[in-house]
Structure formats: C-alpha cells, structure tokens
Amino acid sequence: MFGYYLDLAWRSLKRTPILTSLMVLAIGLGIGACITTLTVLHLLSGDPIPGKSAQLFYPQVMPDTRSKTEPEIGFTYTDATNLLREHRADRQAIVVSNNIKVFGPQAGARPMSLSTVATTTDFFPMFDVPFRYGAGWTPTEDGNRARVAVISQELNDKLFGGGNSIGRNIRLDKWDFRIVGVLQHWQPQPRYYDLYGHGAFASGDSVFIPFSTSRDLADLGIEGNALDCWEQLTDQVHLENQPCLWLQYWVELDTPAKVSAYRDYLVSYSEQQKALGRFQFNGKPLTGLHDLMDWLGYLQVVPSDVRLQTWVAFGFLLVCLINTVGLLLAKFLRRSGEIGVRRALGASRRAVFAQMLTEAALVGVAGGMLGLLLALTGLWAVRRSPTDYAALAHLDLRMFLVTFALSIAASLVAGLLPAWRACQIPPALQLKSH
C-alpha cells in the first residue's frame, strides 16, 4: 500500500513543479541552516573521552584573600604539589603548558615553536593517551627530574620519518631530552586537560615532559598562559613561592564513595591551610569538584554565539515550516475533486490522510537532500572562518542521519494540518464542487 501512496505522491508532485520546488526550497533552506549550526554545536559539546569522563574530576580551592563567591580555577604551586603528594585519588596530574623552542636531531636544525606540556606520571593512563612506541616516564624518572620526553606522532613523523625514535634526543631550548614515548594521533577536542594553555579548541600538543623537570629547568619557560597573581611578583621565572594561580590539577575517582571522600578532603585541606595562615575565609571554605563534562559546562567551553546561532536556525526552520504548511494546504485543497472521487470509490479518511502525509514526506526527502548540500556548504564556510574551532566543522555519520530524520519529521509536521483538512470535507461536496 505504501508503494501505491508513493506512486500517487510522485505523480502529484510532478504535476505542480513550481509549487513542489517552492516547498522543497523552503524545507531545504531551514534544514541547511539547522544542520550547519547543530553540527558545530554537536562537535563542540561532545564528550571528548567517552566512557572515562565521569571518572575525571577537576578540584577547586580558594587560596587567596580576594573577595570571591566561587572557588578559584587555577592552582598555586604549593597547593598543587600538596594535593599531589598526599595522593588522595586513584590518579592525579598537574598540567601546565607553553610554547617552547624545539630543535630536531640534525645539526643546524632551525627551531620550531611548539606546544609543550609539563605534567606528572599519571597523565597518560589517566587520560587514556594512546602510544605508538614506548610509554610515559616512570614515577622514578618523575622524582629524579629526568630529562625525558614523550612526543606526538606528528612531530615524530616530521623529525624521524615516523620511525621508532625511542632513545633518541630532541632539544628543548638549550637542553637535550631523551625520547621515551611516541603517541598515536591524539588531539582531543575540546582540549579538556589544559583549557587555559592554548584555548579549548587549539591543535594538539607536540611534546610532554615531567613537571618536576620543568621546575628544575625554570628558564625553559613553562609557566602557563593564564598566570593569575594577586600580589606583586618578586620572581617572574621561579613561580614556586609566588602568589599566583598558574597550574591545573586533575584527579581520577572511580566510585561515588571516593568522590564524596575527596570533597570532604578538599574542605579539610582548606581548613588546614587556613590554620597555617595561607587561606583566609569566614565560615565554610569555598571548594569545588567537577567531573569533566560538568567542568566544560562550568567554564562555558561551547561559545555562547554557537548556541545562539543554533536557536536562530531553528527559528528560521519554523518560519520555513509555516510557509510549507501554507503551500501544502493550498495544494491539497485544490485536489478536493480528486480526493472526492477516491472517497466515493471507497477510500477511507485514514487512507486519504496517509496518502497526503506520504506526499509531504517525499517533499521532506527532497528537502533533506537540498538541506544536506546547503549544510555542507555552510560547514565549508565555517572551516574558513578565523574561529579556533573552525577545523572541526565536518559532517559525521550521526549528523548525516539527523539531516534526513529532521527533514522528514519537519515535513510530516507541516503536512498534518493540510492532510487533516483535505480529508474532512464530505465526498458529496467535493464531487459537486468538482
């Protein structure tokens, strides 16, 4: 029966090419605008580490004396190393990054300014970082401030032709580092583990070194891009004892009980630091503990203009649907004679209603095809914009399916009223008017 309705719908649409084109254009424009903005929103707000994000948490404490209603985002060196040393989580990692001059192994090689992350041993298993060769450094190397490094696959391809470079050296500024690991391609978006280093949607990092080593070589310049100080600096290189927030700190907690215990620990730690004269607050200390997805929302990683554009696009789709309703209503009511003949020959209202909706759905399929082309064009334009997330604007399989699902659903919704009106007029009146 559906095939019969489909054949009738196709014949009907071919009889009115101009009206059909207008309906397809209206649906296509609305779908194109929606899918373009919805794809960008989907890519920016997705889970960057599915299956693990609920176990990754960002703690917060408030160390300085400024009037605040929310705990701080960054960490001082003292607080980050205190939490690391007390080891109250399954895993924990200090993270800070900056651009460093990197030299290849060839004599006279020109330096490259590359993003370099200073972190601790747990970083790699904690964030499920994939390795192509080797592994991360050991806790012993971390403690001994060893000059070891993990490099990205892209840097390994550039410097060593993609071969196994374990044991070879690269130079960071004026110091040699021995390579102990080479990553597989790994560029999570957003760059959740270091949102303040180079931006949430910056390209991946090239070099990873022990945090302890970066402090041993303070002149290396890894002090972060979000230095937040509440007093005058007395040393802009050695930040260990400076009143500044410049580090990020992550913990892994795999059960709700551990999460609750860690929240209590942050409160007791703050009270302990107050007793030592470092923290100043009245009443209960300000602390926080956000899981990864909550943390991304807390920092509003998805730009507000992307959300606004998505709402505007859906508003535009609604306008297009209203126009489509009018066009379908005019088309169906003009066919009252044809419908009357079918009713007189025994077709039920349900059959007529189904036929009209099939025609609307066919318009939706055609509109979805046009909308897909417009969305691809829109995403192409986004990729050429100066925004830091431009390179992410690609249509994936899920959004491809959403395009047609949304288009057909929209056309069916638009066809409900016209189809209902068309099958409500009595057959006798339709035949008489015909």
DSSP 381-404: HHHTSSSTTGGG----HHHHHHHH
Domain boundary residue, one of 258, 277, 298: 298
- At 253 the three-state DSSP class reads coil
Cβ atoms of 219 and 173 closer than 8 Å: yes
DSSP class of residue 208 equals E
* 107 and 22 part of one domain: no
Tokens 């559906």 sit on residue: 2
* 249 and 125 part of one domain: yes
- At 203 the three-state DSSP class reads coil
Strand 169-172 to strand 56-60: parallel, antiparallel, or no bridges (unpaired)?
unpaired
* 262 and 292 part of one domain: yes
CB atoms inside a 10 Å sphere around CB 400: 15
* 348 and 325 part of one domain: yes
Strand partners, 165: none
* 122 and 226 part of one domain: yes
CB atoms inside a 10 Å sphere around CB 120: 24
The total of structural domains in the chain comes to: 2
CB atoms inside a 10 Å sphere around CB 260: 12
User: Hey, what are 253's tokens?
Assistant: 């907690």
* 118 and 236 part of one domain: yes
* 74 and 41 part of one domain: no
CB atoms inside a 10 Å sphere around CB 264: 11
* 293 and 313 part of one domain: no
- Tell me the DSSP string of 190-204: S-GGGTTTS-TTPPP
Tokens 């490094």 sit on residue: 149
What parts of the chain have a pLDDT lower than 70? 1-2, 4-5, 8, 63-70, 107-108, 197-198, 223-226, 235-237, 333, 335-347, 425-434
* 36 and 94 part of one domain: no
Cβ atoms of 96 and 197 closer than 8 Å: yes
Identify residue 318 by its one-letter amino acid code: L
CB atoms inside a 10 Å sphere around CB 56: 24
Distance (Å, whole) CA 328 – CA 338: 15
**Omega prior to 190 cis, within 30 of 0:** yes
Cβ atoms of 149 and 207 closer than 8 Å: yes
Distance (Å, whole) CA 279 – CA 285: 9
CB atoms inside a 10 Å sphere around CB 48: 19
Tell the burial category of 278 from Cβ atoms under 10 Å away from its Cβ (0-12, 13-18, 19+): middle
Cβ atoms of 27 and 406 closer than 8 Å: no
| Domain encompassing residue 123 | 53-298
Domain boundary residue, one of 298, 325, 343: 298
* 73 and 143 part of one domain: yes
Cα 138 → chain centroid = 31
* 81 and 205 part of one domain: yes
User: Hey, what are 398's tokens?
Assistant: 């899920």
Tokens 């959300």 sit on residue: 307
Distance (Å, whole) CA 416 – CA 246: 58
In the chain, count H helices and then E strands. Answer: 14, 12
| Pick from 277, 221, 288, 285: nearest CA to 251 | 288
Distance (Å, whole) CA 395 – CA 406: 15
pLDDT at 335: 66
Write down the H helix ranges in 117-191: 123-126, 139-143, 153-160
pLDDT at 340: 64
DSSP class of residue 420 equals H
Cβ atoms of 143 and 212 closer than 8 Å: yes
Tell the burial category of 273 from Cβ atoms under 10 Å away from its Cβ (0-12, 13-18, 19+): buried
* 115 and 248 part of one domain: yes
Domain boundary residue, one of 251, 273, 298: 298
